[in-house]
Amino acid sequence: MRKTSPVYDGFKSHPALLTKIGRILCKYLEFYVHLLLVLDSPPNARRSLRLRVSRSKRSRVYMNATDLSTGTYFVKAYTTGYVQRETYTFSITTGSTGDLVVDLVRGAKLSILINFKTEDLFASIDTYSYDPTFIPVRVEIYDSFGTFVAANVSHIPGTTAFQIDVVGFNSYAGNPAYRWTNYYDTTDSKLQKDYGLASSTYLLYGWVPGYVQRSVVTATVDLGGAATVIFDLHRLSHVYGQVTSYNMFGDLIPISWASVSAYGPIVMATSSSDGFYEMWLENGTYTLAAFLVGYETQATEVYASMGSEVEMNFTLKPLGAPIPELSATELTLLAILIIAYTLLHTKKGSVWAV
């Protein structure tokens, strides 16, 4: 009688240990698999399924799925840089154990070279004053249906060109990014499932604060293949300035939370902070308007050209109140006289009452 290997029996009796070993192996190989199980029938009793997820003939990872209800399931495996070409299903019943092999195929790779230009000339990035040595770069990939399928982010110093590779999602957090005034970049921080790029034609977008991609960029790749894509990002026009108003002493003071809007080839809006506002605009003539409740709206026309610096300041007039014509010293003396008169009048009234 053939003896059963005690090592095998130990693994079989301790599926949790087997799963742990599989995860350690995955970490060593820099390869981790997430499983999505779709239930087609109502819950029942405990069931188990052993999954063997393979990347190639030389790499195989064992995983267990337990506590499954009686029914039919779809299985999909996720890992960075690989795709699942086939649909896998299995059926399981009460008290049974199943075995399934899921094959993953190496996906495509996109190597993206981005050039940075100011007025159509190569120029270093100069739009990120927060930290010129740590400028955020984001690349997003969409398939022919407009589905967000891959992305990568990095930080670079001010430079005239930068290369970034995309093979899918790799611990990427975020939905398609939303950009405010063509500068600030935000996502919902939702973690995407690690995956790869299948054979297809893709649409590519590159984002750097204060820059715009003026051309439509596509790339066609096959499974296991690679493509190099080169495109330019152009520096936008930087429109900025101060929003101020007069205080009771006739001094100009900064106004926060004033809305500043640009109407032209594109429509854009922002708010002032400590009186300062800025926005990044494409070529064209714009009407800039500053507005705040309690103040008269002020508007003016500006021309913004790519790569230019345009300063435009606004001085808002309070509604129903003329701009003071007295100097600060005169207003101070007037205020002192009013206070002194009020105190004397109050004192006389007190004496008479006694």
Class for the domain spanning 6-105: mainly beta
Q: Compute the C-alpha angle 236/264/122, nearest 5°.
A: 15
Given this model, what pLDDT does residue 35 score? 44
The position carrying tokens 């249906």 is 145
Give the list of residues 6+ apart from residue 139 with CB closer than 8 angstroms, or none: 112, 114, 151, 152, 153, 164, 166, 204, 205, 206, 207
Q: Name residues whose C-beta falls within 8 Å of residue 298's C-beta, 6 or more positions apart in sequence.
A: 289, 290, 314, 315, 316, 317
* CB of 183 closer than 8 Å to CB of 210: yes
Q: Of residues 305 and 21, which shows the higher confidence score? A: 305
Helix pair angle (15-28, 6-13), 10° resolution: 100
Dist CA 1 CA 93 (whole Å): 31
Give the lowest-confidence range in 35-44, 172-181, 287-296, 298-307: 35-44
CATH code of the region 109-235: 2.60.40
Length of the chain counted residue by residue: 354
Residue that wins the pLDDT comparison between 286 and 332: 286
Mean pLDDT calculated for residue range 35-39: 39
- Percent pLDDT > 70 in the chain is 76
pLDDT at 13 over 70: no
- pLDDT tier, 54 (very low <50, low <70, confident <90, very high otherwise): low
pLDDT tens-place string over residues 183-241: 888 888 889 999 999 999 999 999 999 999 999 999 999 999 999 999 999 999 999 99
- 3-state SS assignment for residue 250: coil
Residue (of 11, 29, 30, 31) closest to 20 by Cα position = 11
The dihedral of CA 235, 310, 253, 329: what is its sign? positive
CB atoms under 10 Å from CB of 89, counted, come to 11
pLDDT at 200: 96
CA dist 76 → 39, 86, 104, 106, 271 (Å): 12, 9, 10, 15, 46
Cβ 203 vs Cβ 217: under 8 Å: yes
For residue range 240-273, list pLDDT tens digits in order. Answer: 999 999 988 888 999 999 999 999 999 999 999 9
- Averaged pLDDT of the chain: 81
For 75-109, how does the pLDDT look when each residue is reduced to its tens digit (9 = 90+)? 888 999 999 999 998 888 877 887 888 889 999 99
Q: What's the pLDDT band for 32 if we cut at 50, 70, 90?
A: very low
pLDDT for 2 equals 40
Kindly report the pTM of this predicted structure: 0.73
Q: Residue 189: what pLDDT?
A: 83
Confidence band, pLDDT 50/70/90 cuts, at residue 52: low
| Residue 240, burial from CB neighbour count under 10 angstroms (0-12, 13-18, 19+) | middle
Spelled out in words, what is the top-level CATH class assigned to the domain 237-316?
Answer: mainly beta
Give the per-residue pLDDT at 42: 37
Per-residue pLDDT at 38 exceeds 90: no
Segment among 94-103, 210-219, 274-283, 336-345 with least mean pLDDT: 336-345
**8 pLDDT band (50/70/90 cuts)?**
very low
